[in-house]
Structure 1
Amino acid sequence: MRNVHRTVGEEEEEEAGAENWFQRLPDDVVLHIFGKLSDVKWLCRCFVVAKRFSSLIPLVQTVSFVTKTWNSDFSIEDGDLQGTIFLGKFSEFLTNNFRLAFLPSPRLNFNDVVFHLKQIEFLNIEFPSHFNADNDSVFKWGANFTTNILESFTFLYAASLSKTDEEKDRKETKNEIAQDELFRRLNISLDCFKNALLRSGILSCAVRTCLMLQSITITDSNNKGVKLCLAGEKLVQCRNTLEVSPTISSEKFGLWALENMRGGYVPVLQLPISGYVMKGVTIVEVCAFDDTSMLDAFAEEKGVFSEAVVQILEKHKGSIKALF
C-alpha cells in the first residue's frame, strides 16, 4: 500500500529530486536546451520559474515567435470590387500608413519581447495569414528588399493549378477576365503589398534592436508571401544603412505610385518543368522595372510560382502593361 498511497512529503521529495537533476546540468547545456526551445512564449514562462533561468534566458541566441496581432485593415468583399474603390484604398494606404510600417508596431510589442534577450543571433518571426483562396485558386507574393527598404513587389494569382492535360487545357481556354474579378484580385494584391511593407518595418526594427543579430527570417502562417531571409553581408549592409539613414526618403515613397503598377493576364500558363498548368493567371507588380526584380522576388520560392514567373517573362512578357 505504501507504493500506491504516497504521502505529500514523498511527492514533494520526488519533485525536488527531479528539479535537482535539472539544476545539476551545466549552464551551457541548459542554454542549449533553451535554444532548442526557442519559442519566446515558453522562454518567457521559464524566465519567471527560477533565478537561474532568469539569468540564463537573456543569453539565448535563437528566438522564434508567432504573433497574432496583425490584422489587415482592408476586407475583400463581393461589393468591394470597383476600380475607384481600389484606387482610393491604394492612395489612402500609402498616405496614411506607409510611415507607420517603418516603425515598431505597438501591437507587436517587439521591444518588449527582446528587452531581456540581449544575445539574439537568430530570429524567426511568423505572422498570421488571413487570406482565403476561392475554390481551387492559388496565389503568392514576393518582394525585393534592398537593405531595409522594400524595393519591388510581385503578386501572382491563378484561378486553378493542376497537372498538365494539353487537350483539356486548349478546350477550356478563356482569353479575358471579367472586370470585377480583376479588381477583386487587385484588392488582394493590395493587402499583400501592405504585408510586404510590414515585413520591411519589422526587419528595420529587429536590426536596430538586436545588435548581435546574424540572421532573421520572416514568414506568414499560410506561406502566401515568399520567405524573407536576411543574413551575412546583406544583414551588415542593412545595419549600416540604418545607421546612416534610419527613415525612408520622400523619393522612395514617390516610387510607390499607381503609375509604377503593372499587370497582365495569361489564360493558360504551362509549367513544363513541374508538369503543372495554371489557368486564369494574373500578375501584378509594383516598382519591378526589370526582369531581375521579378525573378529575385521569388528567389526563395523554388516551386511552381518561381517557374511561373520565368515562363511569363519568357513567353508572355507582352501581356504585362501599365494598369493605370
Structure 2
Amino acid sequence: MHPKARIHADPAAPEPDRIDGLPDSLVLLILNKLEDVHSLGRCAAVCRRFSDLVPLVHDVYVKIDRVVAVDGDPDDALNLSPPKPRHIFSHLLKLMLFTIAKPFHGMRGPGGAGGGRPLFPRLAQHSPVQVLRGFSHVRNLRVELPSGDVGTEEGVLLRWRARYGSTLQSCVILGGTLVDRKPAGAAGHEASAAEDGGSMPESFYTNGGLKLRVVWTISSLIAASTRHYLLRSIVKEHPTLRSLVLADADGQGTLCMGAEQLAEFRENRLAALACSNRTQVPACSMKLKYAPYLELPGGLGLQGATLVVIKPSSDGAGGCHVGRKETEAFVSGAFDGPFRFAAKALMKRRTYLLEMNGF
C-alpha cells in the first residue's frame, strides 16, 4: 500500500502581494473614486505606500454628520453637545476639521504601536486648512452640510444654487408653497400661460405671496453668503482647486465655484461684513417668474411655483459680467429631476423685474 501524499506550503516561498504589484497610477485612480475622506483615512492607515499616495488624490468629499457648538476658548477640545443655532455658522469650520481629521486621528508614525508620535496632533489645535494641507493635490472638493440653512414649513419647496467668485455672480431660487401628489387618473389643472395670460393674480400681492418670495430670496442669499465666507481660507490655501461645491444633505442649497471663479476669488479681496460671519451681498437685479400651479413628472404638482433669477447689478458685479446665455445655461442646469422640469417651464412665463440693494 502506497502512503498518502501530503502537500505542504513552502514557507520559503510566500504568496506574492498582488496589491503591491499594482502601479501607483492605478492605485491613485481607485483612491480618487473613493473620494470620501473617511474612507481615504482608513486606506492611509493600511500601509506606508497608501499613506504616501492618499495625499496625492484629486477628488475629496467631506460629509459633515452633525454641527457642533464650541463655547469658550477656541483651543478647547471640541464639544459634541447638541448644536446651538446661533453657533452653527461661526463654528462650522471646527466641525469640518473634526470630520476631516477623525479617520486620521489614531494614526501614528514609525516606532511601534505606542512609541510613535501621532501623525495628526491634538485635533482642536488645528484649522481645516492645516488638516487639508495633508492633501496636496486636491482639485475637486465637495463638502456636505447636515441640513439646509433656511427653515420652511412642511410641504414647502425651497431650492437654490449660487455661483460665487470673490462675490456673488449668479443665483437661482426655485420655490413653491406646496408639493403634492396628484391622484392617479385625476384631471390636470395646470394653468397655462395662454389661459392666465402669464400674469400674477391680484391675490398674489394682497395675501402675502410676494412678501413670502422676498423672504425666500433674502434668506437664501444670506445662507449662500455665509457659506462663501466660511470657504475663504480653504480656497486661498489650495491653489490646485479647480472645483468646489458646498451643499447640504437636504438638497436645499448649493454653492459652487469653478476654476474661473476660484482664480477670481484669490485675486480680489472679499467684502466681508464686520458684524456677521458672511460676505456682503451686492446690489442685485432679479427676474421673478410665477405659475399658480405646475404639473411635474412622476405625478407631482407644485402650487405657487416661483423662479427667481438673480444677478449683481452692473455697478455691483465686481467687474465680472455674466452673459445672458451663460445665465440661462446656469438656470437650466441648477436642479435635477422634476425640479429641472419646473425651472424650464417657469422660464417660459412672464418676467417681473425687481431691484434689491446690497446688504
TM category, shorter: 0.5 to 0.7
- The worse-fitting range, judged by mean Cα deviation, of 275-284 and 58-67 is 275-284
Residue 204 (str. 1) matches residue 217 (str. 2): no
Q: Report the counterpart of residue 46 of structure 2 in structure 1.
A: 49
Partner deviation per Cα, 1:30-88 (whole Å, 9 max, x = no partner): 2222122121111122223322222121111221121235589xxxxxxxxxxxxxxxx
Partner deviation per Cα, 1:197-249 (whole Å, 9 max, x = no partner): 13323553333122222333333223222562513x4443443x2xxx33327
Return the index of the structure with the highest Cα Rg: 2
Letter in 2 for 1:138: L
Partner deviation per Cα, 1:298-317 (whole Å, 9 max, x = no partner): 253261343255234xx142
Residue 129 (str. 1) matches residue 166 (str. 2): no
Letter in 2 for 1:306: A
CA distance in 1, matches of 2:280, 2:24: 52
Letter in 2 for 1:106: K
Residue 139 (str. 1) matches residue 158 (str. 2): yes
Give percent identity, aligned residues only: 20
After TM superposition, give the deviation of residue 116 of structure 1 in Å.
0.8
Q: Report the counterpart of residue 36 of structure 1 in structure 2.
A: 33
User: Higher relative CO (CA 8 A, sep ≥ 6), structure 1 or 2?
Assistant: 1
> In 1, are the aligned partners of 2:176 and 2:306 still within 8 Å (CA)?
yes
Residue 165 (str. 1) matches residue 161 (str. 2): no
> In 1, are the aligned partners of 2:289 and 2:352 still within 8 Å (CA)?
no
CA distance in 2, matches of 1:149, 1:221: 24
After TM superposition, give the deviation of residue 133 of structure 1 in Å.
5.7
Structure 1 residues 25, 272: CA separation in 2 closer, same or farther (over 3 Å shift)?
closer
TM-score, normalised relative to structure 2: 0.56
TM-score, normalised relative to structure 1: 0.61
Q: Report the counterpart of residue 85 of structure 1 in structure 2.
A: none
Other structure's SS at 1:298 match = helix
Q: Report the counterpart of residue 236 of structure 1 in structure 2.
A: 263
CA distance in 2, matches of 1:51, 1:253: 42
After TM superposition, give the deviation of residue 279 of structure 1 in Å.
2.5
CA distance in 2, matches of 1:111, 1:148: 19
Alignment equivalent of 2:96, drawn from 87, 93, 108? 108
CA RMSD of aligned residues (A): 4.8
CA distance in 2, matches of 1:165, 1:177: 26
Structure 1 residues 275, 317: CA separation in 2 closer, same or farther (over 3 Å shift)?
farther
CA distance in 1, matches of 2:45, 2:34: 16
Letter in 1 for 2:304: G
> In 1, are the aligned partners of 2:34 and 2:40 still within 8 Å (CA)?
yes
**Structure 2 unaligned blocks of 5 or more:** 1-8, 70-85, 98-127, 315-322
Letter in 2 for 1:25: L
Letter in 1 for 2:168: L
Other structure's SS at 2:203 match = coil
After TM superposition, give the deviation of residue 286 of structure 1 in Å.
6.4
Structure 1 residues 178, 43: CA separation in 2 closer, same or farther (over 3 Å shift)?
farther
Structure 1 residues 41, 254: CA separation in 2 closer, same or farther (over 3 Å shift)?
closer
Q: How many residues align?
A: 270
CA distance in 2, matches of 1:70, 1:276: 33
> In 2, are the aligned partners of 1:139 and 1:158 still within 8 Å (CA)?
yes
Q: Report the counterpart of residue 77 of structure 1 in structure 2.
A: none
Alignment equivalent of 2:341, drawn from 301, 304, 310? 304
Structure 1 residues 226, 298: CA separation in 2 closer, same or farther (over 3 Å shift)?
farther
Q: Report the counterpart of residue 220 of structure 1 in structure 2.
A: 248
CA distance in 1, matches of 2:66, 2:152: 22
- The worse-fitting range, judged by mean Cα deviation, of 26-35 and 280-289 is 280-289
Q: Report the counterpart of residue 136 of structure 2 in structure 1.
A: 118
**Structure 1 unaligned blocks of 5 or more:** 1-9, 73-95
> In 2, are the aligned partners of 1:174 and 1:280 still within 8 Å (CA)?
no
After TM superposition, give the deviation of residue 117 of structure 1 in Å.
0.7
CA distance in 1, matches of 2:281, 2:220: 17
